[in-house]
């Protein structure tokens, strides 16, 4: 059953001078806060509304547009920044909304940012959940057969995605941009649940309307990626930490989730059947259940 829609509360915050972030809340303002941190080049609207509305039945759900996505400021050329600065933006969102501590959920690059929050701002977190991501750690890991390996031994990205990402940028009109995004989502979806073209088309049309243009964001790919490794800090972690394994993820195959769960102290590993590197309707109930069961374990 689709959860009832909730009335959003919209905010604008300024994490640093000259940068404004679009922020949206759903649910009871007095409920435990749950911060949704999306992946690279993705608007906060990439967290599907029905998933957000379902989580808002028990949480004060907060989603937002990263810099250079959605309605937030697009100014990388004038104000370059590091990937780690995006983690600072997440803290700034909590500060602006008066949230002392929150559950944090991160997908893809958002999962890296949540790991930075865990190590650099553990006092701000009630729990952490990540999926579709890799470890910000150089710790070795143990394969299913018991052998030890370094992170270099983890499976690579699907070559079809590498080929798509290596193509030079193109100027496209809105219709062509939507078709391009649909081809990309089809690859990211994986092969364990059917690709829901109608859903992803509607999502991208909504994001383009929300953003005000159909231009692709490349800022996060250009941002400084140095200083992201947190091997020792993650090993010492005491924040309740859930790693969700995505068995159909073509970017970070399931072994990455195993590595991450071994690299992070206080981590648990669960699988969400059918999950790839996308959020089609078929996975929402299982994903929401995994997140809610984890946040409930903290008693907050």
Beta strand segments in the chain, E:
9-16, 19-26, 33-37, 60-64, 102-107, 125-131, 141-142, 148-149, 241-245, 267-271
Task: Indicate the domain borders of the chain.
Answer: 9-297
The active-site residue out of 42, 43, 72, 108 is 108
pLDDT in tens, 29-42: 999 999 999 999 99
pTM of the model: 0.97
Contact at 8 Å (CB) between 11 and 247?
no
Task: Please tell me the CATH superfamily of domain 9-297, with its number.
Answer: Alpha/Beta hydrolase fold, catalytic domain (3.40.50.1820)
pLDDT in tens, 18-29: 999 999 999 999
Q: Is residue 59 among the annotated active site residues?
A: no
The active-site residue out of 66, 103, 259, 277 is 277
Average pLDDT, the chain: 97
CA distance 84 to 123: 18
The active-site residue out of 249, 256, 259, 261 is 249
Reply yes or no on whether the pLDDT at 115 is more than 90.
Answer: yes
Q: Is residue 108 among the annotated active site residues?
A: yes
Block residue for tokens 């800090």: 233
pLDDT of residue 1: 54
Per-residue HEC secondary structure of 20-64 comes to: EEEEEEECCCCCCEEEEECCCCCCHHHCCHHHHHHHCCCCEEEEE
CB-based burial, 93-104: b 16+ in 10 Å, e otherwise: bbebbebebbbb
Q: What is the mean pLDDT of residues 184-210?
A: 98
pLDDT of residue 131: 99
pLDDT in tens, 240-260: 999 999 999 999 999 999 999
Q: Is residue 127 among the annotated active site residues?
A: no
CA distance 208 to 45: 10
């Amino acid at each position: 059953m689709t959860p009832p829609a909730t009335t959003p509360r919209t905010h604008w915050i300024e994490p640093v001078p000259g940068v404004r972030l679009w922020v949206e809340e759903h649910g009871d303002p007095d409920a435990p806060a749950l911060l949704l941190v999306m992946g690279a080049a993705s608007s906060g609207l990439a967290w599907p509304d029905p998933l957000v509305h379902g989580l808002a039945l028990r949480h004060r759900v907060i989603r937002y547009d990263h810099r250079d996505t959605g309605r937030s400021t697009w100014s990388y050329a004038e104000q370059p920044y590091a990937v780690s600065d995006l983690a600072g933006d997440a803290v700034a969102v909590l500060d602006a909304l008066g949230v002392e501590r929150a559950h944090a959920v991160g997908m893809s690059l958002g999962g890296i940012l949540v790991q930075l929050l865990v190590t650099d701002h553990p006092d701000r977190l009630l729990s952490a959940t990540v999926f579709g991501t890799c470890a910000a750690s150089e710790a070795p890991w143990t394969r299913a057969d018991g052998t030890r390996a370094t992170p270099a031994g983890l499976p690579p990205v699907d070559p079809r995605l590498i080929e798509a990402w290596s193509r030079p940028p193109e100027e496209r009109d809105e219709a062509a941009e939507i078709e391009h995004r649909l081809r990309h989502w089809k690859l990211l979806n994986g092969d364990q649940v059917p690709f829901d073209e109608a859903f992803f088309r509607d999502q991208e049309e909504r994001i383009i309307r929300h953003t005000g243009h159909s231009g692709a964001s490349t800022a996060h790919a250009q941002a400084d990626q140095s200083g992201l490794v947190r091997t020792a800090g993650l090993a010492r972690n005491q924040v309740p930490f859930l790693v969700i394994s995505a068995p159909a993820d073509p970017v970070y195959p399931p072994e990455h989730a195993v590595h991450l769960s071994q690299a992070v102290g206080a981590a648990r590993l669960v699988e969400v059947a059918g999950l790839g590197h996308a959020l089609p309707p078929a996975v929402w109930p299982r994903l929401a259940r995994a997140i809610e069961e984890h946040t409930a374990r903290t008693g907050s």
